[in-house]
Amino acid sequence: MNPERPRPRTRRIIAAGAATLALTLVASCSSADDPDQLDEGAVAPETEESEGTAEPQAASEPASEPFTVAFGGDVMFEGMLLPRLADPATALDPISEQLSAADLAMVNLETAVTEGGTPIPGKDFVFRAPSSALEALDSAGVDVATLANNHGMDYGEDGLLDTLDNGDASPVALVGAGRGADEAYTPHVAEVNGQSVAMFGATDVLDDHLIPEWTAGEGKPGLATTKYEMKDRMLSAVSDAAAEHDNVVVFLHWGLEGSHCPLPHAPQLADELVEAGATAVVGGHAHVLSPGGFQGDAYVHYGLSNFVFYNFSGPTAETGVLTLTFDRGSVLEADWAPAQIQGGVPVPYEGEAADQARQTWVDMRQECGLPLTDSPA
């Protein structure tokens, strides 16, 4: 979490509370066990347990509270966006306020963060950005970014290794890629309000000829994917995380570019991830908005569209911030705050325009025939 924001520091609170409790117990025990500490006329406690004495109660677990995570779509800094990095502190204004308002924020970083590497030959679009891109994300309130997408290795293995090194030096945690498969399929884990959340990144979109080169392997740098046999690896990682942590998020790169509706296999993939233990499955890639909503107590969003991107008008400029409220393996609430990309960054809609944009997005559920709802079952 960004240390500049007034985020809850649960572990400190718990630690302080535990210390106070320990001192109280020590003082209480000292008064009861030391005869010199007894009040005059008081009766010392019996040393043998009397019949009917209640069993000592175990210390109760620290209280937890719900927390929020804000999600944004595809982010890169090519072309008209590169000059914004001259001042990373303001690069994502005016959307920073919405991202920073949540306890955590996560986006899809659709670019290599490197000034080296070699562009992949024959690829129509290759994106890269300097390390100040991570400064911009951090200043805007972003805590986690997934690299698992069809641009994560645009500058080859060297570019990916540079990206990971830059991530290690940044407050922004990078997921969905690694120096080997174990790292690529390891989530970022955060503790908020007495709860833990494991946050994964994975891609369901890769050009067939790049799958062998871009997929992380044993000691081989690459991306986490759900392609072919690697789907089982992802499901297993989600299941393991769900057994250990209170909440699990999967940010998935999926869909068909230009299409609002998910690909035919996507609902089944969402089902499998939820059954494995995912509390929420969100994603992007299509460069246009896709439907989202509740699926039981879990939440599925099929496409957050572009977010920080060189767009000017039309469907590819429609975007927004999705904020989910988590509580021990369930999503309690979901808020979609629509925005329009202007000058490369999202500008939130207001008033009647916001209501209309939100309703247009809600209507996509019916258009795509998806049984998603506004509230949990």
212-222: per-residue pLDDT in tens? 999 999 999 99
Q: Is the pLDDT of residue 26 over 70?
A: no
**Does residue 149 lie within any of the structural domains?**
yes
Of 63, 78, 104, the residue at which a domain comes to its end is 63
Residue 17 is assigned to a structural domain of this protein: yes
Give the mean pLDDT of the chain: 88
Query: Over 90: is that where the pLDDT of 224 sits?
Result: yes
My answer on whether 103 and 222 are in the same domain is yes
Length reported for the chain: 377
Same domain? For 102 and 27 the reply is no
pLDDT of residue 196: 98
Tell me if 42 is assigned to some domain. Answer: no
Burial of 82 (0-12, 13-18, 19+ CB in 10 A): middle
Residue that the structure tokens 């202007």 belong to? 342
Structure tokens at 350: 């207001």
CB 276 within 8 A of CB 232: no
d(CA 307, CA 284): 10
Of 199, 67, 88, the C-alpha closest to 146 is 199
Indicate whether 13 and 148 sit together in one domain. no
Whether 29 and 141 map to the same domain: the answer is no
- Asked if residue 170 is part of any domain, the answer here is yes
Are 106 and 247 members of one domain? Answer: yes
Predicted confidence at residue 312, as pLDDT, reads 78
Instruction: Specify whether the backbone of 91 is left (phi greater than 0), alpha (psi in -120 to 50) or beta.
Output: alpha
24 and 135 inside one domain: no
Q: Which residues contact 124 (CB under 8 A, 6 or more apart)?
A: none
Mean pLDDT throughout 116-122? 95
Per the listing, tokens 């081989």 go with 220
Domain count across the chain: 2
- 362 φ, ψ to 5°? -60, -40
Instruction: Report which DSSP code applies to 149.
Output: S
Same domain assignment for residues 12 and 147: no
Q: What is the mean pLDDT of residues 168-192?
A: 98
- Strand 330-342 vs strand 112-113: parallel, antiparallel, or unpaired? unpaired
| 63, 79, 106 - which closes a domain | 63
pLDDT computed for residue 29 by the predictor: 40
Beta-bridged to residue 177, according to DSSP, are: 223
Instruction: Report, as an integer, the average pLDDT of 351-377.
Output: 96
Give pLDDT tens digits for 255-291.
999 999 999 999 999 999 999 999 999 999 999 999 9
Residue 221 CA to residue 295 CA, distance in Å, equals: 34
% of the chain beyond a pLDDT of 90: 82
* 15 belongs to a structural domain: yes
Among 74, 91, 71, 94, smallest CA distance to 83 is for 91
| Structure tokens belonging to residue 134 | 């991570």
Beta bridge partners of 222: 178
CATH number at residue 106: 3.60.21.10
342 & 261 share domain:
yes
- 63, 82, 109 — which closes off a domain? 63
Tokens of 149: 């997408």
- Per-residue pLDDT band for 371 (boundaries 50, 70, 90) equals very high
pLDDT band at 17 (very low <50, low <70, confident <90, very high): very low
Report the pLDDT averaged over residues 196-205: 98
Please check the confidence at residue 157 and state whether its pLDDT lies above 80.
yes
Read off the DSSP letter of residue 170. S
pLDDT of residue 36: 40
pLDDT of residue 6 exceeding 50, the answer is no
**One domain for residues 20 and 81:** no
Residues 141 and 278 in one domain: yes
> Given a cut of 70, is residue 357 above it in pLDDT?
yes
- Residue matched to tokens 């299941």: 239
Same domain, 184 and 275: yes
- Tell me which residue of 221, 59, 236 sits closest to 152, measured CA to CA: 221
pLDDT value at residue 63 = 86
Is residue 196 included in any domain, yes or no? Answer: yes
Is the same domain home to 85 and 172?
yes
CA distance 319 to 135: 22
Rounded-to-integer distance, Cα 335 and Cα 68, Å = 10
What's the domain range around 297? 67-367
- Does 50 reside within a domain? no
